[in-house]
């Protein structure tokens, strides 16, 4: 069954061009009236929506906002006459998956829609798997509409059909395994195993046996022969997390797998051919490790044929409301709750917080807030603001020991203001005082 694509444009010529570009690959439903399209979209599932921005009755951005409220996982592609970088950034920030600039180009249309459909498939598969298996993982679900995440989506869409090795780099909690699962889910290997392993979680002396297997009696405790993870992942994907922690003496053997596509059990003289794609991830700077002779240069280049850089959450704050909406759906189902949203006050605090634990920390916050919620909306008063929770234990370490109570209060207010980028409104909400109280205690900010 073909993926269903909705195309919306009040100009007949543009509709025909879109149908020509996409009709051979997808099941196209074309609409010249956006209000009619919206009624159909309410009752039907589409893998992607392509809509013009300038239309009567309902413009493309307004239509997109309504679609995302109904179905946050549906990628919406906007057609705009403004092809500048600024216009692109504004389009993505408003919630679009991507944009297509006029005049329309058939190849560009096909590429952008293909990426959108790939993203939808991965998201849908991840939600279905998490629901059916009761999984705690966001399997294959990458959420974001920021410009930096759009670049990630495009790389996933282009890299997934290939067999190239991929290196995913990013801070802890940014979702490296989720991206790896998305690549696998959109690849020809999707029906084969996806096996994750953390090089940091397995003792150095056991890692080689875990990856490559061993013969009976190969070492003390090897009571029987065992296949390694490379063999278990045959035809599929092996995800090597924390690749920067892999011992130097083991790196040549890993390099051989990448070069020759063969593995040899510990204690065996026979090699076997394996068909496995390797996706590696790290929160360390591998190039720096290479410079310091802590990681083999040839292995680094073999692993990083395709690189994916995952931005920290503090660098894509426009994605926070979308992530919150996604986690609300997930944990409402898990906790059997019906929390409909987040108050404006709490949302402002969450968007302004730096999130040192990245997406994982935000997810944990929403999980806990829904589990403890008593009303239909999460509020600042009911939840423990993360800006206070994560910093209250450490901010006093830098203070002199002889501060009086009034001085201590002033320092704490300054600390919260710093975390809020000197936003007095947000700080007042966190501290649960009037803005005028802050002005009185610490002075009104200079303009």
Concatenated DSSP letters of 297-362: HHHHHHHTSEEEEPPPGGG-GGGHHHHHHHHHHHHHHHHT----EE-HHHHHHHHHS--TTHHHHH
11: DSSP letter? -
189 and 242 both lie in a single domain: yes
Min mean pLDDT across 87-96, 99-108, 200-209, 218-227 is at: 87-96
304 and 323 both lie in a single domain: no
171 and 204 both lie in a single domain: yes
What pLDDT score does 132 carry? Answer: 41
What pLDDT score does 390 carry? Answer: 47
Domain holding 328, by residue range, is 314-389
What pLDDT score does 395 carry? Answer: 56
166 and 116 both lie in a single domain: no
Residues of 152-178 as b/e, b for ≥16 C-beta within 10 angstroms? bbbbbbebbeeeebbbbbbbebbbbbb
Task: Please give the average per-residue pLDDT across 146-164, as a whole number.
Answer: 82
* Model confidence band, residue 128 (pLDDT cutoffs 50, 70, 90): very low
Tell me, what CATH number does 216's domain have? 3.40.50.300
Backbone angle region of 217, left / alpha / beta, with phi > 0 → left and psi within -120 to 50 → alpha: left
Task: Please give the average per-residue pLDDT across 76-96, as a whole number.
Answer: 63
- Tell me if 146 is assigned to some domain: no
pLDDT surpasses 50 at 83: no
What pLDDT score does 398 carry? Answer: 64
Rounded to the nearest integer, the mean pLDDT of the chain is 82
- Tell me if 335 is assigned to some domain: yes
353 and 405 both lie in a single domain: no
Other CB atoms within 10 A of residue 19 CB = 16
53, 62, 355 from 75: Cα distances, Å = 15, 15, 26
Task: Please give the average per-residue pLDDT across 30-56, as a whole number.
Answer: 91
pLDDT surpasses 90 at 396: no
* Model confidence band, residue 445 (pLDDT cutoffs 50, 70, 90): low
pLDDT digit string, tens, across residues 339-389? 888 888 888 888 888 888 899 999 999 999 999 888 889 988 778 766 554
403 and 383 both lie in a single domain: no
Return d(Cα 271, Cα 194) in angstroms, integer: 22
Q: How many structural domains are present in the chain? A: 4
Between residues 141 and 49, the one the model is more confident about: 49
What pLDDT score does 218 carry? Answer: 67
- Tell me if 140 is assigned to some domain: no
Tally of CA atoms within 13 A in the half-sphere of 36 that contains its CB: 12
Return d(Cα 80, Cα 65) in angstroms, integer: 16
Instruction: From 263, 291, 309, give the residue that closes a domain.
Output: 309
Between residues 349 and 446, the one the model is more confident about: 349
Long-range contact list for 258-263, CB < 8 A, 24+ apart?
Answer: 258/165, 258/299, 258/302, 258/303, 259/302, 263/212, 263/213, 263/228, 263/230, 263/231
- Tell me if 147 is assigned to some domain: no
| Residue 12 burial (10 A CB sphere; 0-12, 13-18, 19+) | exposed
- Tell me if 228 is assigned to some domain: yes
* Model confidence band, residue 82 (pLDDT cutoffs 50, 70, 90): low
109 and 45 both lie in a single domain: yes
Length of the chain (residues): 447
How many degrees, rounded to 5, is the angle at CA 407 between CA 404 and CA 413? Answer: 140
CB-CB contact of 322 with 347 (8 Å): no
- Tell me if 154 is assigned to some domain: no
168 and 123 both lie in a single domain: no
376: DSSP letter? S
Return d(Cα 91, Cα 81) in angstroms, integer: 12
Q: Which helix (H) or strand (E) holds 394?
A: none
- Tell me if 153 is assigned to some domain: no
- Tell me if 136 is assigned to some domain: no
Return d(Cα 27, Cα 352) in angstroms, integer: 42
Q: Which residues contact 139 (CB under 8 A, 6 or more apart)?
A: 125, 126, 129, 130, 178, 181
Return d(Cα 224, Cα 419) in angstroms, integer: 56
Instruction: From 245, 279, 309, give the residue that closes a domain.
Output: 309
Instruction: From 369, 389, 409, give the residue that closes a domain.
Output: 389
Between residues 414 and 47, the one the model is more confident about: 47
183 and 280 both lie in a single domain: yes
């Amino acid at each position: 069954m073909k993926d269903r694509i909705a195309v919306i444009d009040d100009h007949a010529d543009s509709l025909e061009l879109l149908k020509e570009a996409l009709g051979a690959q997808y099941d196209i439903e074309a609409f010249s009236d956006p209000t009619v399209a919206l009624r159909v979209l309410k009752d039907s599932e589409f893998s992607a929506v392509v809509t013009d921005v300038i239309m009567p009755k309902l413009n493309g951005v307004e239509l997109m906002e309504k679609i995302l409220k109904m179905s946050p996982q549906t990628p919406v592609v906007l057609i705009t006459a403004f092809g500048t970088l600024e216009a692109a950034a504004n389009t993505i920030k408003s919630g679009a998956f991507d944009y297509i600039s006029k005049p329309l180009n058939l190849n560009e249309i096909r590429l952008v829609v293909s990426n959108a459909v790939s993203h939808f498939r991965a998201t849908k598969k991840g939600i279905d798997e998490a629901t059916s298996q009761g999984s705690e993982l966001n399997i294959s679900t990458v959420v974001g509409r920021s410009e930096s995440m759009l670049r990630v989506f495009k790389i996933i869409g282009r890299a997934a059909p290939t067999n190239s090795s991929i290196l995913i780099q990013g801070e802890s909690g940014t979702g490296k395994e989720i991206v790896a699962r998305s690549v696998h889910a959109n690849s020809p290997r999707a029906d084969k195993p996806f096996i994750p392993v953390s090089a940091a979680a397995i003792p150095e002396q056991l890692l080689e046996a875990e990856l490559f297997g061993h013969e009976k009696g190969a070492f003390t405790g090897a009571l029987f022969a065992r296949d390694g993870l490379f063999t278990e992942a045959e035809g599929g994907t092996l995800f090597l997390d924390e690749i920067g922690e892999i011992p130097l003496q083991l790196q040549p053997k890993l390099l051989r797998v990448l070069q020759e596509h063969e593995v040899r059990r510990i204690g065996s003289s026979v090699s076997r051919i394996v068909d496995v794609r390797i996706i590696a991830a790290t929160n360390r700077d591998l190039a720096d490790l290479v410079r310091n002779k802590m990681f083999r240069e040839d292995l680094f280049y073999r692993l990083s044929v395709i690189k994916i850089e995952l931005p920290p959450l503090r660098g894509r704050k426009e994605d926070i409301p979308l992530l919150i909406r996604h986690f609300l759906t997930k944990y409402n189902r898990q906790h059997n709750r019906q929390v409909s949203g987040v108050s404006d006050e709490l949302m402002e605090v969450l968007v302004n917080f730096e999130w040192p634990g990245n997406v994982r920390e935000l997810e944990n916050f929403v999980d806990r807030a829904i589990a403890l919620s008593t009303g239909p909306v999460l509020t600042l008063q009911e939840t423990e603001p993360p800006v206070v929770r994560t910093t209250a234990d450490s901010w006093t370490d830098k203070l002199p020991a002889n501060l009086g109570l009034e001085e201590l209060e002033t320092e704490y207010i300054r600390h919260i203001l710093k975390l809020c980028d000197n936003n007095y409104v947000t700080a007042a909400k966190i501290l649960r005082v009037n803005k005028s109280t802050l002005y009185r205690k610490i002075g009104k900010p200079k303009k």
